[in-house]
Structure 1
Amino acid sequence: MNDLHIRPARSADLPAIVAMLADDPLGAQRESPDDLSPYTAAFERLSSDPNQQLVVAVRDDQVVGTLQLTIIPGLTLRGSTRSVIEGVRIHADERGHGLGTQLIEWAVEESRRQNVQLVQLTSNASRTDAHRFYERLGFTASHVGFKMAL
């Protein structure tokens, strides 16, 4: 396999990104790869926000992974800055070969570069394999999350 390259996502990457978002039991219920218009609008919002980074992992000119990194300035923890890792997806053909680790390590290093004091993420309660993966990388299941659909 050729070397992996992590770079900012481009609008042309959206079909591949959305396909990965939809390629699991949860994503299949909530994503719509046949209609990219809401993703295009979201991509434009992300691209214009300096605290958002949507990146892709590319191998052999193919998008094989993605994640979103959000930087959040805050007052808690003595005015510390946090980052949130969201939307981590790996193409089915690449799973189990270390790409997820490389993407998370990239996000942690980028967080350090931006003087972030705490990196956090959430994972659906049903994703037990993902929980083991994040724990292996040093994350701790420390909070209970709550959501409200609007």
Structure 2
Amino acid sequence: MEFRTATLTHLPAIVRLLADDEMGATRERFIDPLPNEYVEAFAKIEQQIGNSIIIALDNNEVIGCLQLTIIPGIARQGTTRGQIEGVRIDRNYRGQGVGESLFQFAIHEAKSMGCELIQLTTDKKRKDAHRFYERLGFVASHDGMKLALSN
């Protein structure tokens, strides 16, 4: 297994992972060809310094992904933080340590970019994910809120 920053060639596999669960199935559109919105979003991520999709590969097959965004801040005496979102592990690889290894890689990357804190968002309905994050040492210390800006 190896970890690296995703390229455009990995995008269909990433969208497949995002769509392959009960919540993603209603939010994502994994079709061929991929809708242009995904390609445009990926291009924006690649252009933004400190923003990347990290993938886990097994024999060149994408088996996991997450988005890591580095956020410089003023709060906490100028603390830089890493934001993790869009975490998915292929259902055939769950329970085999892929997620934990992917997180350890992402945390190492965040530290190397000066982060002193890692934060993540997770849907309240994802109870298994909550247990996984807590096992990794994450603490549910804040409540998050969202405001949808589209119709």
Q: Scaled by the length of structure 2, what TM-score is found?
A: 0.95
Which residues of 2 match residues 12-91 of structure 1 at below 5 A?
12-34=9-31, 35-91=34-90
Task: Give the ranges of 4+ consecutive aligned residues of structure 1 lying more than 4 Å apart after TM superposition.
Answer: none
- Measured against aligned partners, the alpha-carbon deviations of 1:44-103 in whole angstroms (never above 9, x if no partner) come to 000011110111111111111111100000000001101101111111111110000001
Q: Measure the CA separation in 2 of the matches of 1:138 and 1:8.
A: 24
The amino acid of 1:118's aligned partner reads L
Q: Which moved more, 1:133-142 or 1:33-42?
A: 33-42
Identity %: 46
Q: Is the 8 A contact 2:89 2:99 kept in 1?
A: yes
Q: Deviations over 1:86-139 (max 9, x none)?
A: 111111111110000001111111111111111000110000000000000000
Is contact 1:15-1:36 (8 Å) kept? Answer: no
Structure 1 residues without counterparts, runs of 5 or longer: none
Quote the residue 2:3 is aligned against: 6
Report SS of the residue matched to 2:55: strand
Shift of residue 36 of structure 1?
Answer: 2.9
What TM-score comes out, normalization by structure 1 length?
0.95
Give the count of matched residue pairs: 147
Query: Aligned equivalents of 1:115 and 1:15: distance in 2?
Result: 31
One-letter code aligned to 2:137: G
Please provide the CA RMSD for this pair.
0.8
Partner of 1:141, secondary structure, is: coil
5+ long unaligned stretches in structure 2:
none
